[in-house]
Amino acid sequence: MATTSDIRKGLCIKYNNDIFKIIEFLHVKPGKGPAFVRTKLKSITSGKVIDNTFSAGHKIDDIRVETQKYQYLYNEGNQYHFMNSDDYNQISVEKSILDSPDLMKEGEMVSISINTEDDMPLSADMPSSVILEVIHTEPGVKGNTATNATKPATLETGAKVNVPLFINEGDKIKIDTEKGQYIERIKE
């Protein structure tokens, strides 16, 4: 058993007969009344995100998880297949568990949290940014540069993001996996 002081991003807990992963939290201590913790919980089974408030000192039922590095191999519909780079065991994970599956390319290393009680994958955390190649975008027109103007681009994984006008097909760009946004162009 843990308490609200143990709450951190990525912690998996049992709540309302389901398993939730904490994706955001904020400890609040108002001037009047008791302290509390405001959280955003993501259901592992359905992918639904709910807001919840725990009073300070509230007991929470945490789940023991093991996190290991896995390499992304391929996907079949909603099943994504990964291989443990240490012992070469393969596991498959539902698409709903993945935060941004459209930004994963083959060979990408991902941290997968597995429930130690029943060996079920609970969540998969991608690196904070990935480098992908632009395979299609409209050419930028010289002189057409209003501040922060963007255009849509299709990446090698099929994901679509907005990029600045100076990005061309064949450019490699860095993408923030949490927000799915362009960060910078990679020079080779």
pLDDT confidence bin for 139, thresholds 50/70/90: confident
pLDDT score of 103: 86
* Tokens linked to 61: 């039922």
Among candidate residues 110, 125, 140, the one where a domain is terminated: 125
Mark whether 139 and 152 lie in a shared domain. yes
Q: What share of the chain is helix, strand, coil (3-state, %, to 5)?
A: 5, 55, 40
- Residue whose C-alpha is closest to residue 27's, from 36, 19, 18, 16: 36
Name the DSSP class of 98.
Answer: B
Query: What is the pLDDT averaged over residues 149-156?
Result: 87
Query: What is the pLDDT averaged over residues 53-82?
Result: 87
Query: What is the pLDDT averaged over residues 172-179?
Result: 88
Among candidate residues 62, 83, 103, the one where a domain is terminated: 62
Report the C-alpha gap between 88 and 78 in whole angstroms.
22
DSSP bridge pairs for 50: 41
pLDDT score of 114: 83
Provide the edge-to-edge strand list for the sheet that holds 65-76: 90-94, 79-84, 65-76, 109-115, 121-125
- Residue whose C-alpha is closest to residue 124's, from 40, 181, 68: 68
- Residue whose C-alpha is closest to residue 104's, from 77, 119, 125, 135: 125
Among candidate residues 62, 86, 110, the one where a domain is terminated: 62
pLDDT score of 38: 92
Mark whether 135 and 163 lie in a shared domain. yes
Percentage of residues in the chain having pLDDT higher than 70 = 95
For residues 71 and 90, is the Cβ–Cβ distance under 8 A?
Answer: no
Q: What is the pLDDT of residues 19-60, one digit of tens each?
A: 888 888 998 888 888 889 999 988 877 778 899 998 888 888
Mark whether 115 and 138 lie in a shared domain. no
For residue 132, pLDDT beyond 70: yes
Mark whether 16 and 47 lie in a shared domain. yes
- Residue whose C-alpha is closest to residue 154's, from 118, 182, 127, 177: 182
CA atoms in the 13 A half-sphere facing the CB of 42: 16
Mark whether 56 and 93 lie in a shared domain. no
pLDDT confidence bin for 150, thresholds 50/70/90: confident
CATH code of the domain in which 46 resides: 2.30.30.30
Q: Please give the residue range of the domain that contains residue 112.
A: 65-125
CATH code of the domain in which 95 resides: 2.40.50.140
Burial-class residue 2 by CB neighbours within 10 Å (0-12, 13-18, 19+). middle
Mark whether 44 and 71 lie in a shared domain. no
- Counting the structural domains of the chain, the total is 3
Task: Say whether 174 sits in a helix, a strand or coil.
Answer: strand
Lowest mean pLDDT among 31-45, 48-62, 109-123, 135-149: 135-149
Task: Say whether 42 sits in a helix, a strand or coil.
Answer: strand
Mark whether 8 and 58 lie in a shared domain. yes
Which has more pLDDT, 141 or 184?
184
pLDDT score of 40: 92
Name the DSSP class of 141.
Answer: P
Query: What is the pLDDT averaged over residues 119-126?
Result: 80
pLDDT score of 141: 66
pLDDT score of 14: 86
Query: What is the pLDDT averaged over residues 115-144?
Result: 81
Mark whether 56 and 91 lie in a shared domain. no
